Structure 1
Amino acid sequence: MLVSYNWLKEYVNLDQLTPAELADKITLTGIEVEDVISQGGNLTKIVVGEVLTEEKMEGSDHLHITTVNVGEEEPYQIVCGAPNVAAGQKVIVALPGARLAGGLKIKKSKLRGHVSNGMICSLQELGFSDSVIPKKFADGIYVLPEDAEPGEEVRSYLGMDDAVLDLSITPNRADALSMRGVAYEVGAILNQTPSFPELELKETSDKQAGDLVSIAVEDEKDAPVYKMRIIEGVTVKESPLWLQQKLMKAGIRPIDNLVDITNYVMLEYGQPLHAFDYDKLGSKEILVRRAKEDEKLVTLDGTERTLSPENLVITNGSEPIALAGVMGGENSHITDTTTTVALEAALFESTLIRKTAQQLNLRSESSSRFEKGINVAAIQQAADHAAALMAELGGGRVVEGTVSQEAIQPEDTRIHITVEKINRSLGTKLTEKEVTEIIERLGFGSKQITDGELEVSVPPRRWDMSIQADVIEEVARIYGYHRIPATLPSGDTTLGELSDAQRLDRHTRRFLEGSGLSQAITYSLTTTEKANRFALRDTPDTHLDWPMSEEHKTLRKSLISGLLDSAGYNRARSMKDVALYETGRVFFQEEGQVLLAEEEHVAAVLTGSLEQDSWLGDGAQVDFFTVKGILEELFASYGLKEAIVFKADSTQDGMHPGRTAAIELNGKTIGFVGQIHPLAAKEHDLDETYVFEFNLDAVVEAEKEPLLYSAIPKYPGTSRDIALLVDEEVTHQQVLTVIEENGGKWLREIRLFDLYQGESIQEGKKSLAYSLAYLNPEATLVEEDVNKAFEKVKEALVSQLNVEIR
């Protein structure tokens, strides 16, 4: 919200405060002032000039030679290139030695042999933004009013002796999106009561507004208040300079007197208005309703909009003539030929306005105010003020009466609170009198209910207040945050420490990074197809009602899809070796639960090599056993009491059916590891790619072995090797399980050191060779004990897996 210091001075006394001092006081009470913009502070020797003569320069298609009266004895000759310069105009003249915006210095010069003593200026050259300059003067010089005196400083005519405060208004303080709202705020800060000029509205009595138009609202929830006034006999013309100045300082481009009045009243009251050309309505009936599916409306910007029942429209009984609260229609807007105005003032349902503005990408000053809320008590006053100004500045007359539909009436909000409650919340020792004075400074009413208890009456202009906490906040703001005593927290302090889940998460990230992987962070939202791919569980999808895009619509059930996108992005940029991991949450819908189930998962994607090429040779390509080995070491570092088991799995979605294993803990599947299906890899332009994902929460909850430290064994161990001929279907995990169950208490390690299939091995068979390490940390192993345990292993292998000992 851009607030003119001079405009604000019309309502409150600011004689003792500079704009910077006022900005500090406003910021200290809760509304941040982002900047104080001083207009024309560095401009010098810029005066009013009167163009006496103007003629085209020979040999030039755009330059003019003018003589200009600048209040001195002799007129100045100035060469001007503006297309709209003409004799008789009052213009802005920068004299030789003047400095313009950006530090440009004006000097006496010659153009094509003609002396130019200064420069006739446009508003852009004085530092005004293109977005606020009146369209009439956008491509040329600015013409001042006829009563401007040649030679006078131009500052007062353009309002450049002013400062503009840029207020950052939070959604809960939308009452400050108006000059009157800011005036009440400043009045409370300075302990003043704002003074607003009396409204003088003269109405004609020969006809009634109800005879010219009727109003109907299809659903009063969509438009709780809708009012319309009629102003006849108006003339559309340029606005007076004072009105243009106020709009330009607020960042709004002046258009014409009627449109400018609606914007001016919106700035003063915070009440958006819309002016229709009454003769273009095509009907005396105004109907406010929801748009029909695929209904069309050409808006003021010339764009045809396709509407839906989510949009609220103003119609002439049948056809839309405006998007309620957002933008008018091209078929009913004010033009130079307008003589009768139908002036709309309303309250629309905020969510409808927000959805329409978002859906059609039509954000405006008007829609912003409807979204955040408006003062219901000021709707009629704003309409009356605008109608009076249209009659005054447009030469028209206001038809008697207001046509309206009202489902709600403005009323004060009453909040009961005790002084003791305020002091307990703020840590202050305010008396009832001090609290009452603060409430009165805010313009609120107060009444004593009992000793120490007050009833605070909040007017409709502060619709953000409804509970005791709101009153406490207002008392704190006006009393002064800097005056509230500082207190140290009391009670016993608690030493902070990481939870088990946090420790395990950090350990996992350190381990994977030490294994050569890099951390990636991907979006939790993805497409519906990607959300279901690689999921560990089949549950219903969770969609957003208003997604940013179709690419970010559904909550993920797996981390792998996002990592594959990242891997494909890197591969497309010539990164052939990619190793990424991520720790993050996935989301599932549980039957009978309202809230989503969130699980912390760990996932990784690897393609190419983990080793750099060197003179010794190319790095080995990542394969299933590389990834499985990383996982085995990671799980071993967790110290789980129950062993992790890898089982062949051909059912996992998106994975190679012959190169995938499920990861089981305590008999439950917590993840998987393997090669992604070649078709899935092709979608991302990846070569042979391996992934894993597991539920970290399940690992956190699993029972861990206590961490025990022991000395290095003093006694030597021994080992036994065994070669087995087994059926091709027998897995390494099955062999390990049998050996572990029968290996005896001195068995310390089992290592597969050979796998062979081919010549000299019959079809359907494979050869596995294992080394079994034995160790007794307290004594030297007896050969008899080792042989006995080893024989038991061989017998179990033969009986359980039908192996042949080679």
Structure 2
Amino acid sequence: MLVSYKWLNEYLDLSAITPKELADKMSVTGIEVEGIDVPEEGLKKIVVGEVTACEPHPDSDHLSICQVDIGEEITQIVCGAPNVKSGIKVIVALPGSRITGNVKIKKGKMRGQVSNGMICSLQELGYGDSVIPKEYAEGIYYLPADAEVGKPVFPYLDMDDHLIELSITPNRADALSMRGVAYEVGAIYRQTPSFKPFELHEVETAAASKINVTVEDQADAPAYQIRIIEDVTIAPSPQWLQNRLMNEGIRPINNVVDVTNYILLLFGQPLHAFDYQKLNSQEILVRRGKEAETLVTLDGESRTVSGDDIVITNGQVPVALAGVMGGLDSEITATTTTVALEAALFDPLAIRLTSKKFNLRSESSARFEKGINQATVAAACDAAAAMIAELSGGQVLKGAVEGATVDVAPVSVAITLDRINRYLGTKIDQAEVEEIFAALGFTATLDNETYHVSVPPRRWDISIEADIIEEVARIYGYDRLPSTLPSGETVAGRLTHEQMLTRKVRTILEGNGVSEAISYALTTEDKAQQFTFTSSQVTRLDWPMTEDRAVLRLNLIAGLLDDLAYNLARKNSNVALYEIGRVFKQAGDSKKELPTEVNHVSIAVTGNVHNKDWQSQAQKVDFYHVKGILENLFDQLGLTKRISYTQTNQLQEMHPGRTAMIQLDQQVIGFVGQVHPTVAKAYDVTETYVAELDLDQLLQNTSAQTVYQTVSKYPAVNRDIALLLSETTTNQTVNTVIVESAGRFLQDVRLFDVYQGKNIESGKKSLAYSLTFANPEATLTDEEINQAMAKITKNLEEKLQAEVR
């Protein structure tokens, strides 16, 4: 919201308060000021000139040689604007002047003709193309005929004003109007704003004889009315009104449309003007749109509406999207003679959904969404009708035709002075709090130590006790509130069980040479659905910034592969990364249900474990390197005996012969393996090995406590066993049988040899294991170990048809 300091001075006496002081005071009382802009800053020696003669340049088909009166003399200026002509007042940049962009204007020659300065367009004074009147968009700007030649141009364009930019929070939508800001500033400086009344003169003809208004559902439009203004003449608005709109960032259109925008800024009440004749009906019906119903809006786009959209119709077809944008067919044009002026309240949620659906954000829709003063709907409409009649020479028909009305009454809030002081830690007395209520324009009556505060409708954000306390604090001054230390007992902070274990996981992985990466949680739909070991739908964003960030991720590996590709493209060929983050699983309809957030940990490694040097060859990363990192992690979390691996070819993005599912107590918690070569090629990465685990499940089964055991003083005994097995039998299966059969003294099982080839029949393989036995309480005897080995051998032969070699 841009606030004109000059305009604000029309309602309050700010002569002793500089714009900077005002901005600072507003910032410390609750409405943040983004900055102050003075349009004339950086510009100099720009004056009013009058073109006394204009003739074509002899050596150019688009330049004109102008004789310009600049007050002290008549000087020659060569101008390339297509709309330059004799007898107009223009903006002249004299030699030595500065225009926008700190460009210095000098005397010079153009095609051999002397040019002593420049005749300027509004763009050359810093105005954006979006706010310049269309008739001057491609040429120079005409100043009013009464502009005094030779005088600085800035006062005529109100460029000497100070524009204060406010950052309005959603709860303070009352400050989205000049009247609202005037009340706010008035409360700060203990002044009551004075608003000049609009004199509305009506003719005897009743507006109701020209139009009938019906609102189908008053929940959609709690208030709706139309005023009729006849015999209008469409023309440019007066200079003061154009200046005011351009300074506020709004393009002047004509004297009717400009009035609706002016009242929008003044009251915060959106209005819309229809060309009455173009309605082709004497009826206005406010209803919901019908399926496949279309409307061409003012921007020339055809919009297909639905039952979610509120539309204004002529009884048959839509003529406007309620609260968002009018229809092109009923636009105010130069031929308009009768205006139907609309003022309304619309359902904020419906306006928000329609605005979002069509990507149409406007000053009007923003105010309907955040709220407007329901008490001034009719007053704003009356003021606009009076201004239109005054500026266009029209006449206002008697009465407003209402389709719906809303009764607005002040809100009463009860509060005690003691409660205010207790919340704020202050010692405000009765006289001071009553003075604050009066400054805010709130009527307060005291009844047995309880104030009954009557809040006017212009502050619809106030309804409860806490709101009153906040208002008192703002006007009293946040800087005057006492600073105190918190009272009560405190306890030492500590990490939660999950936080401690997550930190431990990070430490373990980094100790294995893996560096942490952080990837985007948003990705493409294809990448989101890759590398998933549980089924889930994707969660899509309604309005993604780019298609590459359109859905929430279901895995972490895709992001790590992008990180690997980034490193590989920069010749960093040995990369080991991990990430701990959330994935977002969606069981139902993503538009109705929030996704479940699950913590995962993922690893991605490519390149060499170590490079070639003088004493060893390079060792490439392989499946067992990544699996070893995981086994180290499981070991330090105390989960090794509960973890198992099962070969799988169910993950399309993974190599079918080098991938295993990871199970914790027979429940799948993740996978480890090589990225499929075709997928690796698509990501522009070399041979890469990855793993992903459900960290939540991992931590739920991990104890935060580490149990230490003393080293046994009794010797351990090693026994080896070699087995001839079917080549389809996995090490995991053999390991499980050995552990289940060996008894309580078995400490470790290690596979130290795998052999297939000469002297081994086809379809078989030889596995050799080293078994370590130990009894922490006594020395093991050969008989105990022999019994254990016999049981192991028996179970291997019976369950796996193994042959002991």
Gaps of 5+ in 2: none
Amino acid at match of 1:11: Y
| Structure 2 counterpart SS, 1:131 | coil
Structure 2 counterparts to residues 318-397 of structure 1, below 5 A: 318-397=316-395
Q: Is the 8 A contact 1:350 1:372 kept in 2?
A: yes
Counterpart for residue 11 of structure 1: 11
Counterpart for residue 62 of structure 2: 62
Amino acid at match of 1:36: I
| Structure 2 counterpart SS, 1:377 | helix
Question: Is residue 493 of structure 2 the alignment partner of residue 502 of structure 1?
Answer: no
Question: Is residue 296 of structure 2 the alignment partner of residue 298 of structure 1?
Answer: yes
- Kindly state the Cα deviation for residue 582 of structure 1 after the two structures are TM-superposed: 2.6
Question: Is residue 28 of structure 2 the alignment partner of residue 31 of structure 1?
Answer: no
Q: Does the C-alpha gap of structure 1 residues 211 and 666 become closer, same or farther in structure 2, counting only changes over 3 Å?
A: same
Counterpart for residue 451 of structure 2: 454
Q: Does the C-alpha gap of structure 1 residues 601 and 75 become closer, same or farther in structure 2, counting only changes over 3 Å?
A: closer
| Structure 2 counterpart SS, 1:460 | coil
| Structure 1 counterpart SS, 2:151 | coil
CA distance in 2, matches of 1:312, 1:482: 46
CA distance in 2, matches of 1:361, 1:729: 61
Instruction: Report the count of equivalent residues.
Output: 802
Q: Is the 8 A contact 1:640 1:705 kept in 2?
A: no
| Structure 1 counterpart SS, 2:341 | strand
Q: Is the 8 A contact 1:656 1:677 kept in 2?
A: yes
1:198-233 deviation line (CA, Å, top 9, x unaligned): 12000011x111111111122211111111111111
CA distance in 2, matches of 1:687, 1:269: 64
Question: Is residue 746 of structure 2 the alignment partner of residue 734 of structure 1?
Answer: no
- Kindly state the Cα deviation for residue 58 of structure 1 after the two structures are TM-superposed: 1.5
Amino acid at match of 2:403: Q
Q: Is the 8 A contact 2:634 2:640 kept in 1?
A: no
Q: Does the C-alpha gap of structure 1 residues 682 and 287 become closer, same or farther in structure 2, counting only changes over 3 Å?
A: farther
CA distance in 2, matches of 1:545, 1:302: 25
Q: Does the C-alpha gap of structure 1 residues 153 and 88 become closer, same or farther in structure 2, counting only changes over 3 Å?
A: same
Q: Does the C-alpha gap of structure 1 residues 94 and 614 become closer, same or farther in structure 2, counting only changes over 3 Å?
A: same
CA distance in 1, matches of 2:102, 2:290: 56
CA distance in 2, matches of 1:527, 1:436: 59
Tell me which moved more, 33-42 or 267-276: 33-42
Tell me which moved more, 495-504 or 527-536: 527-536
- Kindly state the Cα deviation for residue 235 of structure 1 after the two structures are TM-superposed: 0.7
- Kindly state the Cα deviation for residue 535 of structure 1 after the two structures are TM-superposed: 4.8
| Structure 2 counterpart SS, 1:251 | coil
CA distance in 1, matches of 2:111, 2:150: 27
2:239 to 232, 238, 241: 241
Tell me which moved more, 239-248 or 638-647: 638-647
Q: Is the 8 A contact 1:293 1:307 kept in 2?
A: yes
Q: Does the C-alpha gap of structure 1 residues 381 and 655 become closer, same or farther in structure 2, counting only changes over 3 Å?
A: same
Counterpart for residue 477 of structure 1: 474
CA distance in 2, matches of 1:594, 1:321: 36
2:483 to 486, 494, 497: 486
Q: Does the C-alpha gap of structure 1 residues 603 and 43 become closer, same or farther in structure 2, counting only changes over 3 Å?
A: closer
Counterpart for residue 460 of structure 2: 463
TM-score (norm 1): 0.91
TM-score (norm 2): 0.91
- Kindly state the Cα deviation for residue 112 of structure 1 after the two structures are TM-superposed: 4.1
Q: Does the C-alpha gap of structure 1 residues 123 and 588 become closer, same or farther in structure 2, counting only changes over 3 Å?
A: closer
Counterpart for residue 22 of structure 1: 22
Amino acid at match of 2:739: E
Counterpart for residue 124 of structure 1: 123
Q: Does the C-alpha gap of structure 1 residues 220 and 567 become closer, same or farther in structure 2, counting only changes over 3 Å?
A: farther
| Structure 2 counterpart SS, 1:130 | coil
1:440-470 deviation line (CA, Å, top 9, x unaligned): 111122122x322111111111111111111
Q: What percent identity do the matched residue pairs reach?
A: 56
Q: Does the C-alpha gap of structure 1 residues 607 and 323 become closer, same or farther in structure 2, counting only changes over 3 Å?
A: same
Q: Does the C-alpha gap of structure 1 residues 709 and 562 become closer, same or farther in structure 2, counting only changes over 3 Å?
A: same
Amino acid at match of 1:300: L
Amino acid at match of 1:151: G
CA distance in 1, matches of 2:173, 2:613: 66
Q: Is the 8 A contact 1:522 1:562 kept in 2?
A: yes
Q: Is the 8 A contact 2:631 2:640 kept in 1?
A: no
Question: Is residue 114 of structure 2 the alignment partner of residue 115 of structure 1?
Answer: yes
1:401 to 383, 399, 404: 399
| Structure 1 counterpart SS, 2:402 | strand
Q: Is the 8 A contact 1:432 1:452 kept in 2?
A: no
Counterpart for residue 206 of structure 2: 208
Q: Is the 8 A contact 1:533 1:558 kept in 2?
A: yes
Counterpart for residue 91 of structure 1: 90
1:555-605 deviation line (CA, Å, top 9, x unaligned): 6554455556666787899987765433223455789x9986543222334
Q: Is the 8 A contact 1:579 1:610 kept in 2?
A: no
| Structure 2 counterpart SS, 1:462 | coil
Q: Does the C-alpha gap of structure 1 residues 295 and 81 become closer, same or farther in structure 2, counting only changes over 3 Å?
A: same
Q: Does the C-alpha gap of structure 1 residues 527 and 162 become closer, same or farther in structure 2, counting only changes over 3 Å?
A: closer
- Kindly state the Cα deviation for residue 160 of structure 1 after the two structures are TM-superposed: 2.1
CA distance in 1, matches of 2:545, 2:93: 51
Tell me which moved more, 298-307 or 783-792: 783-792
CA distance in 2, matches of 1:71, 1:416: 66
Q: Is the 8 A contact 1:291 1:311 kept in 2?
A: yes
Q: Does the C-alpha gap of structure 1 residues 596 and 281 become closer, same or farther in structure 2, counting only changes over 3 Å?
A: closer
| Structure 2 counterpart SS, 1:506 | helix
Tell me which moved more, 551-560 or 241-250: 551-560
- Kindly state the Cα deviation for residue 412 of structure 1 after the two structures are TM-superposed: 1.2
CA distance in 2, matches of 1:669, 1:675: 18
CA distance in 2, matches of 1:732, 1:183: 81
CA distance in 2, matches of 1:553, 1:128: 37
Amino acid at match of 1:393: L
| Structure 2 counterpart SS, 1:738 | helix
Q: Is the 8 A contact 1:516 1:610 kept in 2?
A: no
1:614-633 deviation line (CA, Å, top 9, x unaligned): 78898555444333222111
Q: Is the 8 A contact 2:174 2:180 kept in 1?
A: yes
Question: Is residue 635 of structure 2 the alignment partner of residue 636 of structure 1?
Answer: yes
Gaps of 5+ in 1: none
- Kindly state the Cα deviation for residue 685 of structure 1 after the two structures are TM-superposed: 7.0
Amino acid at match of 2:472: V
CA distance in 1, matches of 2:384, 2:632: 77
Structure 2 counterparts to residues 48-59 of structure 1, below 5 A: 48-59=48-59
Structure 2 counterparts to residues 252-331 of structure 1, below 5 A: 252-331=250-329
| Structure 1 counterpart SS, 2:130 | helix
Q: Is the 8 A contact 2:773 2:785 kept in 1?
A: yes
CA distance in 2, matches of 1:429, 1:680: 70
Q: Is the 8 A contact 1:535 1:653 kept in 2?
A: no
- Kindly state the Cα deviation for residue 611 of structure 1 after the two structures are TM-superposed: 4.7
| Structure 2 counterpart SS, 1:132 | coil
Amino acid at match of 1:28: V
CA distance in 1, matches of 2:465, 2:298: 44
1:223 to 195, 211, 221: 221
- Kindly state the Cα deviation for residue 102 of structure 1 after the two structures are TM-superposed: 3.2
Amino acid at match of 1:13: D
CA distance in 1, matches of 2:64, 2:537: 75
Structure 2 counterparts to residues 463-612 of structure 1, below 5 A: 463-524=460-521, 535-538=532-535, 558-560=555-557, 563=560, 579-587=576-584, 598-606=597-605, 610-612=609-611
| Structure 1 counterpart SS, 2:769 | strand
Counterpart for residue 701 of structure 1: 700
Tell me which moved more, 575-584 or 145-154: 575-584
Q: Does the C-alpha gap of structure 1 residues 705 and 146 become closer, same or farther in structure 2, counting only changes over 3 Å?
A: closer
CA distance in 2, matches of 1:647, 1:300: 64
CA distance in 1, matches of 2:769, 2:797: 15
| Structure 2 counterpart SS, 1:454 | strand
- Kindly state the Cα deviation for residue 385 of structure 1 after the two structures are TM-superposed: 0.8
CA distance in 2, matches of 1:706, 1:151: 87
Structure 2 counterparts to residues 193-204 of structure 1, below 5 A: 193-204=192-203
